[in-house]
Amino acid sequence: MDIDTQWQALGTGEDETRTITKIAIFAVGGQGGGVLTDWIVNLAEANGYKAQSTSVAGVAQRTGATIYYVEMAPDTGKAPVFSLSPAQGDVDIVICAELMEAGRAVIRGFVTADKTTLIASSHRILAVSEKIVPGKGEQDSDVVLSRLGNASQKLVAFNMEEVAADNGSVISSSLFGALAGSGALPFLKSTYEDTIRKGGKGVKASLASFNASFEHAQSSAAAGSAGTKRPEQLKPEKALTVRGPEKKRAAWQLLLSRIEALPKQAHEMALAGLRKAVEFQDLEYGEEYLNHLEIVLASDTENGNWEFTRVAAKYIANAMCYDDTIRVADIKTQKTRLQRVEREIGLGAENQLELTEYLHPRMEEICGTLPVRLGKWIEARPKVFSWLDRRVNKGRRIRTHSVRGFLSLWLISSLKPWRRSFLRHEIETEHLQNWRDLAIKTVHSDYDLAVEILTCRRLIKGYSDTHKRGHSKFDRVLSSLTLLKDRKDAADWLRRLREAALLDEKGEALEGALKTIQTL
C-alpha cells in the first residue's frame, strides 16, 4: 500500500505526542541497562515529569541483544497514555551500550535523521560469530560508525566503556553522563547527579564516570566531531635497545647493519623478524634469518616495490620461530611474562599470585624435542611410540609460581642450545626450505603468485591437531598450483583459496573453492 498517498488523503492534524519524550536503550544482556532505565525514570520524576518504563526480562536476554524503553512527559495532573514499546521512526533518544547495537537500532528503524539523538558507545563486544572464525572475524566497526552520523539527527559517540572503566565504574554511568552531556533532555546536570546519589550504590565511581563522560559528550558536540574516532597517530617506527654481554651487543649491531642494506619497504618487518629469530634461538639464528632474506632479495626486483622481500621477511620469521615445547617453556618462564600477567589481572601489592599452566603434551611434541635419530627411531616404531604416548599424553597442571613447577619448565627451555639438533627443527627447516624455494622459483614467472605462496604460511598455526589441520590446509591450497599453472589470475585464485581456508575450521569453504578451480 502506498502510504504517502494515504497520508494526503487523510490530511489530519499534528502529532499529539510532541510533548512526550521517547527513549530506547539498546544493550547486550548483562550490561546493566536496567540501572540506567531506573535512573532515567527517577530523573524525569525529580524534574516534574510523568514517566513510564518497560523492559523485556527472561531467558531471551541472557547475553543477547535487549531493549529497554522509557516515555516521559511534563506532569499536567492528568495521566498520559504512554506506549509500551518503541515505534519505528518515533524515538527521540536512542542510547546504545555497544557499537553494533547502535547499528541494529538503525537497521530496525528506531534511529531517524529527523528526530533521533543517538548516544552510542563506540566500543565492541564481539558476537560469537565473530570470534569463532579461524582468521580475522571481527566486523568492520568503521562501516557502522560512519553510518551513524547521517542516520541520526545528532550523534554522540565515543568509547563509554573505557570512560567507565577508567573511573572504576560500569557503562550505565558513562551512558548517563553522555545523555546529560548531549543536552537532549531539558534537565539540569545537578539533577542527574542527585539521581545517581539517591541510587546509593557505588556513588563515587558512578559520579566520576558520569562527569568524565559528560565532559566528553559536550566537547565532542561542540567540536562537531561526534562519531569520529580519535585520529590515529602515525605509528613511529619502533626503536629497539639491547642489553647483555658486549660481544652479543656488537653482533646485534652487525645484524642491524645488514637490515639497513635491505630495501626500505622491508625494514620494519625485517627488524621485527630479526628480533623474533634472535629471541627464539640466538644471534646465529638471526644471521640465518637474514641469509634467507638476502637470498629472497636476490630474486626480487624494484618493479614489485620489494613486496616479495617484505612478505618474506614476515613469514620466514614466523616459519623459523615454530611453536615447540622449548619456545613455550621459554616464554612461560620469562620475567616480562610474569610482569605482564600481574598487570593484566591488576595484582595489588599486598596480594600474592599463584599461576597454574594448563599443558597437555603428546608424544609427538616430545619426539620433536629429541635428537633427530632418536626421534625418528621412536616414530618409526608405532608400538614403542604408543607405549610412550600412554605415559606422556595427559593434561598437566604446572604451577609456575612454585620452584618445582618453574624449574620443570625452566629446564625444558634450557634445551635451547641443542634445539638445532632436534627432530622438530629438521622437519621445520626442510619445510621452510621447500616453501621458500617454491616461491623463488615462481617469482620470475609470476611475481604476484610468488608473494601469495609466501603469504600462505599464515595458514600454519596452532598446536597439535589444529596445527596439523593448518598444515593440511596449507598443502591443499598449494596443491592447486598445478591447476593454476600458466593462468594469468593464478595469484588471485591462490589468495581466494587462502581466504576460504580461513573461513571455517574444517576447511569446507576451501574444498568448495578447490572444486571451482578444478572446473576452470
Q: Which of residues 116-155 bind other proteins (CB under 8 A)?
A: 125-140, 143-144, 147, 150-151
Within 10 angstroms of residue 216's Cβ, the number of other Cβ atoms is 20
Q: Is the dihedral of CA 365, 367, 372, 377 positive or negative?
A: negative
CA atoms within 13 A of residue 81's CA, in its CB half-sphere: 1
Give me the 322-351 binding string for other proteins, x by CB under 8 A, dash otherwise.
Answer: -x----x--xxxxx-x---x--xxxxx-xx
For other proteins, the closer of residues 181 and 510 by Cβ is 510
Query: Is 172 a residue that touches other proteins (CB under 8 A)?
Result: no
| Burial zone of 388 (CB within 10 Å; 0-12 exposed, 13-18 middle, 19+ buried) | middle
| 27-38 as b/e: b if 16+ CB within 10 A | bbeebebbbbbb
Query: Is 200 a residue that touches other proteins (CB under 8 A)?
Result: no
Q: What is the DSSP string of 79-94?
A: -----SS--TT--SEE
- Quote the crossing angle between the two packed helices 283-299 and 423-443, to the nearest 10°: 20
Q: Which of residues 445-504 bind other proteins (CB under 8 A)?
A: 458, 461-466, 470, 502
Determine if residue 336 is left, alpha or beta; phi over 0 gives left, psi from -120 to 50 gives alpha, anything else beta: alpha
Determine if residue 227 is left, alpha or beta; phi over 0 gives left, psi from -120 to 50 gives alpha, anything else beta: left
Q: Please, what is the minimum distance in Å from the beta carbon of residue 487 to other proteins?
A: 25
Cell of 377: 627411531
Q: Please, what is the minimum distance in Å from the beta carbon of residue 476 to other proteins?
A: 16
Query: Is 103 a residue that touches other proteins (CB under 8 A)?
Result: yes
Within 10 angstroms of residue 230's Cβ, the number of other Cβ atoms is 9
CA atoms within 13 A of residue 71's CA, in its CB half-sphere: 16
The helix (run of H) or strand (run of E) holding residue 473 is helix 464-479
Q: Please, what is the minimum distance in Å from the beta carbon of residue 431 to other proteins?
A: 16
Could you give the C-alpha distances from 97 to 66, 129, 175, 288, in angstroms and in order?
10, 19, 7, 51
Give me the 32-51 binding string for other proteins, x by CB under 8 A, dash otherwise.
Answer: ---------x---------x
For other proteins, the closer of residues 52 and 218 by Cβ is 52
Q: Please, what is the minimum distance in Å from the beta carbon of residue 456 to other proteins?
A: 11
Q: Please, what is the minimum distance in Å from the beta carbon of residue 519 to other proteins?
A: 28
Q: Please, what is the minimum distance in Å from the beta carbon of residue 268 to other proteins?
A: 6
For other proteins, the closer of residues 96 and 440 by Cβ is 96
One residue of 1, 234, 298, 349 binding other proteins per CB under 8 A: 1
For other proteins, the closer of residues 46 and 65 by Cβ is 65
Site size for other proteins (CB under 8 A): 153
One residue of 357, 426, 492, 511 binding other proteins per CB under 8 A: 357
Span of 179-187, 237-245, 292-300, 477-485 interacting with other proteins by CB under 8 A: 237-245
Span of 10-18, 185-193, 292-300, 442-450 interacting with other proteins by CB under 8 A: 10-18
Q: What is the DSSP string of 9-36?
A: HH-----TTTT-EEEEEEEETTS-HHHH
For other proteins, the closer of residues 112 and 159 by Cβ is 112
Q: Please, what is the minimum distance in Å from the beta carbon of residue 324 to other proteins?
A: 11
Give the integer Cα–Cα distance in Å for 445 and 483.
16
Q: Please, what is the minimum distance in Å from the beta carbon of residue 486 to other proteins?
A: 29
Is the Cβ–Cβ distance between 322 and 428 less than 8 Å? yes
For other proteins, the closer of residues 211 and 455 by Cβ is 455
Q: Please, what is the minimum distance in Å from the beta carbon of residue 119 to other proteins?
A: 17
Query: Is 362 a residue that touches other proteins (CB under 8 A)?
Result: yes
Within 10 angstroms of residue 475's Cβ, the number of other Cβ atoms is 12
Query: Is 434 a residue that touches other proteins (CB under 8 A)?
Result: no
Q: Please, what is the minimum distance in Å from the beta carbon of residue 404 to other proteins?
A: 10
Is the Cβ–Cβ distance between 327 and 321 less than 8 Å? yes
Within 10 angstroms of residue 355's Cβ, the number of other Cβ atoms is 16
One residue of 158, 210, 214, 252 binding other proteins per CB under 8 A: 252
- Single-letter code of the amino acid located at 34: G
For other proteins, the closer of residues 35 and 181 by Cβ is 35
Q: Which of residues 50-69 bind other proteins (CB under 8 A)?
A: 51-65, 67
Strand, helix or coil for residue 183: coil
